[in-house]
Every structure is written in C-alpha cells, then in structure tokens.
Structure 1
Amino acid sequence: MSSTPSGRLILASTSPRRRELIRNLGLPYEVMASEADETIEDGLTPGQIVETLSERKARAVYERLPAGPPRQIVVGSDTIVVYNGRVLGKPEDRNDARRMLQMLQGSTHQVYTGIACIETGTGKSLIAHRMTKVVIKPLTESQIDHYIATGEPMDKAGSYAIQGIGATMVESIEGDYFNVVGLSLNLLSDMLQSFDIDVL
C-alpha cells in the first residue's frame, strides 16, 4: 500500500457540511453536484436506502468524468434519519420541520449515512453505510418554534443539525458523530484504503 496518497477525490455533493468534512482528510478534492434522482422504491431498509442513493449520486458524477488519467475517486453520500422505522428526510416547510421535531424530542432515533466510492478508469466501486443512535432531549413547543425560526432545520434530514445550534438539543449519541453530520470520515478512510489511498 502506498504511504503517499495519490488520486484526487471528487465529492458528488454540494453540501457545505460534507465539503468541510472531506477537507479534513487533507487530500486533494473538488466538488461536483450530482443532480441525481433521489426517489427510491418501497420496501428498502434504511441501510439499503442510503447505499442506493449514495451510489446513484456517485455514479451520476462518475459518468460525466473522463476515463483516462489522472486517477480520481468519486465519493457519493446520503443521510437519513429513522424514527420508529419511519424515514425522515429534509422538511418540506416549517410545519413539516415542526412535525419531525415533535416526534424526535424526548426520544431516540437512528441516523444512517451511506458512502459510495467509484474509481475512474477501472470502474471499481465500494459501497457501505454506518448507523448512529441519537437521543434528543425533551423540548417545549416554544423551544421547537425558536429553533425553526433560526432556519437551521430547513435543509437537514430530520430537521436538525448536530453541528449547529441543534447540538443543544442532543442529549447523547452512540456511534460516529461525523456520521450524523453527514459523512463518516472513519468509514471513508477505510474505504479509500481499498484504493491504495492511506489517509494517515
């Protein structure tokens, strides 16, 4: 295995949170919007949902890239929140955000994040996911309304951001914190080793 990372990462996402996280790896990268269809078929498990969407995002960008050198690894990712078996995506509006937060407050839910890596040239791909349990403390209606008024919930799965002011609502987590933010760096670094890219 090479001790010197080689190959540029292409993040198939315009999420500022994922961009900040992938920057922490210290590898050269660029960002390309996937513009992939995010509709899914019924009957998939949460893990299958995030893996399917992660691969779809990565492949949408991969298919727009030249096959020749330099080598590039396309990274797609998707995050969902699951409460009592129900998948919670991004809220449609403020009322939808309120509905989600009322469900999540005072209880435990799961956050699933999938990662897909595809190598240009060879087409080699790896797909995996992680799950983290999150406990949200009991919240009053006024606290929920105040949080919604900040605007932070509106583009977040489950209507909250653990890395923002939403952190004040999180009582505890069990698992990978960065998985909740939107990209498990531990999982991604393990996957990159299969492409002979050793982050450490």
Structure 2
Amino acid sequence: MILASNSARRQEILKDIGFNFKVLPADIDESSDREDLIEKIKDIAYKKAYHVAKFNRNEYVLAADTIVEINGEVLGKPKDENEAKIFLKKLSGNWHRVITAYSFINIERNILINEYEISEVKFYDLCEEQIEWYIKSKEPLDKAGAYGIQDKGRIFVEKINGDFFSIMGFPIAKFIKNLKELDIDIEKISKI
C-alpha cells in the first residue's frame, strides 16, 4: 500500500494496526471548487490519492485530509504563530467540528472508497498563558485548527463526540469496516 501523505499521525495509526506501506506524498494544489464543505474535503482527499495512483496503477493508494470547522469557518494549518493564537482563541470554550475525509484507490482493480467522518470537540476556556505555552511548543503550527488531540493539545479538550482517531487524522475503524466490505479481512491488511 502507498500512503499519499507525510502525516506522522496517519502513519502511526496505520502502523499500530499492522499496515505495511510506503510513503509517497501527493504534491498537488490542495484546493477544490466544490461548494459543500464535506464534498470539498472528500474531493481534496480523492485528488491526493488519484495523483499518486495514476502513476502506481497496481497499488492500493490511501490519502486523507482533515479540517477543523467552527461556525462555518474552516481553520486549516496556521501560517504562523499569530494565526495559531487566533485559531486557539476561537476554539476556546466552544464546540467545533473535525472533518476527516479519505480516499482509497486501486486503479487496476477498479476500487474506490471515498468517505469521511465528522467528530465534535469541545474546548475548555483557555487563558492567555495556556495559549502562549502551547504556541511556544511549536506543535500547533503543522496541525489543522492549530492543535493536536494526541499531543499537548489534549489538555484543552473537555469533551468529544465521535471518533478520536478521526480527530487525530484518520478514522481507522471506519476504514477497516470499508475494507471488510471489499472482502479484505483484518488478517490480510499487511499484504495490501
């Protein structure tokens, strides 16, 4: 299998379950002209997977994309520390949605899974000192919404509704269910 992503979190989730894969990030423009937010995220995940799959037609290729959305505003990866601070202040004390879409493609076998998972996260009220401490760690700078639930950012999370691993970057349980629907049993995942 090829993982069309550099995400350390996705790699960790897949390795922990037993997948063998090589990493071949899709170097594409991660934008979409779709109007609907979920369709937009699914489209980006598909474009990443297809970009790698068209050069590896016999391989299974997996790609994903994660965004954080609050009150209709998408919070991607912050461009700098100042934007990270703005994002964290918006999330402070509020519920937000984390949407992760993924595409799994094998062109030769005519396989396409294009799915998504939505989870909700509620943050505690954050004080300025907590935000500054977190920004100094540099963790928020490469994460959608400027936080990682699996890292230091976990201390901000009051509640979640949904899939923890989807919030982390990949809904592994749903993906395994998709594979089972294709008659790929969990014992076979190291071979795909």
Q: What's the TM-score, normalizing by structure 2?
A: 0.93
- State the match for 1:126 in structure 2: 113
Identity value in percent: 35
Whole-angstrom CA distance in 1 between matches of 2:3 and 2:178: 14
Quick check: 1:185 aligned with 2:185?
no
CA contact (8 A) 2:44 2:65 kept: yes
Give me the whole-angstrom Cα distance separating, in 2, the residues matched to 1:42 and 1:90. 20
How far did residue 197 of structure 1 move?
Answer: 1.4
Report the secondary structure of 2:100's partner residue.
Answer: strand
| CA positional deviation for 1:18 | 0.5
- Which stretch of the first structure deviates more once superposed, 113-122 or 187-196? 187-196
**Contact preservation (8 Å) 2:4, 2:26:** yes
Q: Deviations over 1:77-131 (max 9, x none)?
A: 0000000011110001011000000000001000000011101412321101000
* Structure 1 stretch displaced more, 187-196 or 140-149: 187-196
In 1: Cα distance, 2:83 partner to 2:131 partner:
12
**Structure 1 residue 42 displacement after superposition:** 5.9
User: Where do 4+ consecutive residues of structure 1 move more than 6 Å?
Assistant: none
Q: Secondary structure at the match of 2:125?
A: coil
Residue 44 of structure 1 and its aligned partner are, at CA, apart by: 2.4
Q: How far 1:22 moved relative to its partner? A: 0.9
Measured in 2, the distance between the counterparts of 1:27 and 1:42 equals: 32
Paired residue type of 1:25: I
1:146 aligns with 2:137: no
Between the aligned partners of 2:27 and 2:184, the Cα distance in structure 1 is 27
Mean Cα displacement is larger for which, 133-142 or 30-39? 30-39
Aligned to 1:60: 51
2:98 is the counterpart of 1:111: yes
Deviations 1:41-75 (A, max 9, x none): 26222x1122111101100110111x35xxx3111
Aligned partners of 1:175, 1:27: CA distance in 2, in Å?
Answer: 23
| Contact map agreement 2:34 2:40 (CA 8 A) in 1 | no
Bigger proportion of residues as helix: 2
Residue 50 (structure 1) aligns with: 41
Normalising by structure 1, what TM-score?
0.89
Q: Is 1:20 matched up with 2:16?
A: no
Unpaired stretches in structure 2, ≥5 consecutive residues: 188-192
The aligned residue for residue 23 of structure 2 is 31
Q: Shift of residue 24 of structure 1?
A: 1.9
Residues paired across the two proteins, number: 187
Amino acid at match of 1:170: V
Aligned to 2:124: 137
Deviates more, 1:138-147 or 1:23-32: 23-32
Distance 1:28 1:144 in 2: 37
